[in-house]
Structure 1
Amino acid sequence: MQAVSAEAGTNQSVERAAAVLRAFTGPGALRVTEVAKLAGLRQSTASRLLSTLEQAGFVERDADGQYRLGADLITLAGAALNGHPVHHAARQRAQSLAASTGLGANVAVRRGDHAFYLCNFEGHLAPRSFALTGRRNPLHATALGKSLLLGVEGRRDLLGELERYTPRTITDHDVLTAAIEQVAWQGYSTETEELSLGRSCLAAPLRDRTGRVVAALSLSGPSSVVDLPGREHELSRLVVETADAINSQLGHHGPTDRQIPAPPRHDLRSRS
């Protein structure tokens, strides 16, 4: 019984330390009281864990006594990314795509009901003040998410109520299903100001050797630069061709989906 209790105590300590680290997913440094609130811990527990994590190099404290994530986590994050097969296959091609188009090139995998960014390269026409790598975005409001939802069963249960982020966000499951069916037919997905105003995106699914969708590649940037009404054909061709090259490196060389009739061309947001 003592061994079991000790193991349970150790697991709880790890869970609490993980909760403390996850409190730093937003921008800026945090005080102990803020960390405790975000992690759901008592202030004394949060303070003790922060002190231990600081000694390990996982958090750093500034002159004002505020904490931020430590540089040693970059080493772990780099090792995790370099060991990920999708990151290994897609990184160089995504970087080249960003350089050639001037747009942002992104690679994401699905983690539950969110898209998790593995790669983010900024083109000179689509600068950002922050890196997307490691961030999560909702599946239903992004082009990446619509590609990642291909072949996912039980989408309604997975996503639940679809949150509205802008007036253009799809909030109706039937409309979302129609959008995903269009992805299966045309080979790529689009999104215009569904997550944030002024930004648009195209994405294509990435598949492993079995044909299963394991990630997605996108081009994104200001709506005025992406210009989907005028450039959809050009940019979708680039995204799909780059995705095909990445798929080959992931071991996928054959056809992806069975041929299905083209869906009617109508505004998929009209019912959202």
Structure 2
Amino acid sequence: MAAEPSGNQSVERALTVLRALSGGRTELRVSDVAKATELGLSTTSRLLATLESMGFVDRDPVSGLYRLGLDMISFGGAVLNSHPVHREARQTAQDLAADLGLGVNVAVRRRDRLFYLLNFEGRQAPRPFVLAGQYNPLHATGLGKALLSGLTGEQRRALLPAAALHAYTHRTVTIHDRLDEEIANALARGYATEVEELALGRACVAAPIRDGSGVVVAALSVSGPLSAIDLPAREAALARAVIEAADSISIGLGYLGPAQVAVPEAVA
């Protein structure tokens, strides 16, 4: 008889199953999960049954397909409610989405990608899915550029090697020298823009959020279809609204002004 996996291995396998269910398709067969996790069918089936009994996975009684269980929301809600940026930004972002009629997003940097803490859809920028909990690239988004503005050029290159600057559209910035220029402009103006760099037909305006030490800890953006964003006519007004909202959140986090801004240290 094969030896039972260690406790750590069992936890790792269970988390791998949950990650497989959280990506892309909403419902999967046991064989789909086994393929995605590179686990055996019997092991996968056993893990799914255990996770189902604990409420972390739901199984459709008719199709037999698995999806993440509603109890996972409890964990996500608890994590968000304990995050200082989420607590400080939620009402501000919701009010801004209602005022502008556009999508408003708040994100933090998780290693080499941005992670959405929250988003609200305005009437002109509806979405069929929730952005919170999703990841996106740093170099191809306004939010990402705002987050990267807290790093030096050397730090950005260490974080994002040239090969990591993937092109998502013909407009995506894929060269560090050009990204340096974009971020220098963002620092000078106080906000970053992105037009069809991640997805065609969409644009955004974003500004950094700082904590009490002046470090960039998050970013806020307004986003939507090109027709709704209308940067040629609205850029100044949108930039002002985004900067004011980001500054309000920063003040709530203890930021006192430019004199406190932490200057990024170069990577040795």
Q: Which amino acid aligns with 1:158?
A: L
Q: Deviations over 1:137-183 (max 9, x none)?
A: 00000000001112225212322221010010001111011111111
- Deviation (angstroms), 1:59: 0.5
Please state how far the C-alpha of 1:107 moved relative to its aligned partner: 0.3
**Aligned 1:67-106 pairs, distance under 5 A:** 67-106=66-105
Letter in 1 for 2:160: L
3-state SS of paired residue (2:217): strand
Q: More deviation in 39-48 or 87-96?
A: 39-48
Offset of residue 206 of structure 1: 0.4
Q: Which residue of 1 aligns with 2:266?
A: none
Residues 16-55 of structure 1 correspond to what in structure 2 (within 5 A)?
A: 16-24=13-21, 25-55=23-53
C-alpha displacement of 1:27: 3.2
SS across alignment from 1:146? helix
- Distance in structure 2 (CA, Å) of the matches to 1:226 and 1:38: 38
Verify the 8 A CA contact 2:213 2:261 in the aligned structure 1: no
**Structure 2 stretches of 5 or more lacking a match?**
264-268
4+ runs deviating over 6 angstroms: none
Identity of aligned residues (%): 58
Deviations 1:41-67 (A, max 9, x none): 222211111110000000100021100
The one-letter code matched in structure 2 to 1:70 is G
Contact kept, 8 Å, 2:214 with 2:262, in 1: the verdict is no
Query: 1:91 is matched by which residue type in structure 2?
Result: R
Aligned pair count reads 254
Structure 1 stretch 167-176 or stretch 22-31: which is displaced more? 22-31
Question: How far apart, in 2, do the equivalents of 1:166 and 1:257 lie?
Answer: 34
- 1:209 matched to 2:212: yes
CA RMSD of aligned residues (A): 1.7
Query: For residues 163 and 249 of structure 1, what CA distance do their matches in structure 2 show?
Result: 35
Scaled by the length of structure 1, the TM-score of the pair is 0.90
Q: Secondary structure at the match of 1:107?
A: strand
167, 187, 191: which one pairs with 1:188? 191
Q: Do 1:184 and 1:257's aligned partners in 2 also have CA atoms closer than 8 Å?
A: no
Shift of 1:229: 1.5
